[in-house]
A and B are shown apart, each in its own frame.
Chain A
Amino acid sequence: MTIRTPSAKHFLILLAALYIGVAAADFDLFLRAVSVFASLLSSVLPILALVLVIMSLLNLAIQPGMAKRMLGEGSGLKGWTFALVGGVLSSGPIYVWYPLIADLREGGMRASLVAAFLYARAIKVPMIPLLIYYFGWNFTLIFTLYLLIFSVLNGLIVERLTESGDG
């Protein structure tokens, strides 16, 4: 495991110190946190493996410049569709998708599409029956519709603000 960025290294050192502190203060709490971490890791690993496979396939299939054409400046409606559908269909925690997004971003993916993808993840198709069970179908319908609209709005706002800082 290589730690190249100093912030990642500092982040891990800080967490190690935090865990040592917790272990010293309350060993039972420490053990519970480690147990939660183990179950979290085991639940995330299959999705991480899936992301790894998708990344490898994309690296293999996507020629230089292709990501930019599909998700870059001139991608238009096709780019937005990819981002929104990808966001809705992607499962697992948000951080599992960061490596893939970082790869696509390096390839020229627009900031707006990254933000739209991450926001659209709020719509979870397999969990819609549960949302209906707790909040009713009318709430689910309106809520999902607004989440989709705000995925696009978020994308546009994030791109505008990040670019205004760069310029």
Chain B
Amino acid sequence: MEQERLGDEMPKDGKGRKREERKTQRAKSQNIAASLKKTAASFARVFPVLIGVMLLISLILVLVPSSLYAKVFSGNEIFDPLIGAAIGSIAAGNPITSYIVGGELIDQGVSLLAVTAFIAAWVTVGVLQLPAEATILGNRFAMIRNGAAFLSAVLVAILTSVTLGLIWP
């Protein structure tokens, strides 16, 4: 009798467990599908802006060769860091390029102060990326962030030069 009862219950438990597993599996699949759908929706909204930024950067890279950078520095200790940060803000491309151009600029007699501002602004400020940043993260945020990053590039350059002068005169 007991054995019969157990025999009856065993398959029921097994079925119940399988049903639970199937339910969990379905919920997992639904979660993955929902997550992929959300990611795809976010990307579809942003992708045209990214393409636009890349088109703009490509055009600027072709129009402005990096050999032009050295010509805009005046040798003035006050204006050169500002010019460096301004060029770094407009320039686009891999940060490696900024180091190579920076090294060339130092060889051509441009001050370390100006070159530091240039390489700091290269990565932190994005004038060409501003339309994308404003569209995706908001106008006000993009303007304030880029403005603060520009001033920071100049300050980082001044502080780096001063600290280097103090520690390793």
Contact = CB atoms under 8 A, between A and B. Distances in A.
A27 interface: no
Given A41-B54, A94-B129, A4 B156 contact: no
Contact of B156 (A60, A94, A95, A147): A147
Interface string B26-45: 00000110111011001111
B98 to A, nearest CB: 10
Contacts of B39: 52, 55-56, 59
B62 A29 contact: yes
B163 interface: yes
Contacts of B137: 98, 101-102, 105, 114
A55 B42 contact: yes
A80 interface: no
A147 B52 CA distance: 29
A55 B38 CA distance: 9
Interface of A: 1-5, 7-9, 11-12, 15, 18-19, 22, 29, 32-34, 36-37, 40-41, 44, 48, 52, 55-57, 59-60, 93-96, 98-99, 101-103, 105, 111, 114-115, 118-119, 121-122, 124, 127, 130-131, 134-135, 138-139, 142-143, 146-147, 150, 153-154, 157-158, 161-162, 165
A135 B103 contact: yes
Interface in B74-106: 95-96, 99-100, 102-103, 106
B160 A15 contact: no
Contact of B44 (A2, A98, A118, A135): A2
A86 to B, nearest CB: 15
Contacts of A40: 54, 57-58
Contact of B152 (A4, A41, A153): A153
A112 B3 CA distance: 67
B47 A1 contact: yes
Given A3-B48, A158-B141, A59 B129 contact: no
A1 B48 contact: yes
Given A96-B50, A147-B120, 6 more contacts: A5-B45, A33-B55, A95-B53, A95-B132, A101-B137, A118-B145
A111 B116 CA distance: 27
B95 A124 contact: yes
Contacts of A114: 137, 141, 145
A55 to B, nearest CB: 5
A162 B139 CA distance: 10
A75 B60 CA distance: 40
Contact of B35 (A4, A18, A32, A60): A60
A15 B50 CA distance: 12
A118 B48 CA distance: 21
B145 A8 contact: no
13 contacts: A8-B135, A11-B48, A19-B59, A29-B63, A55-B42, A56-B36, A121-B123, A121-B124, A135-B112, A139-B116, A142-B160, A153-B152, A154-B124
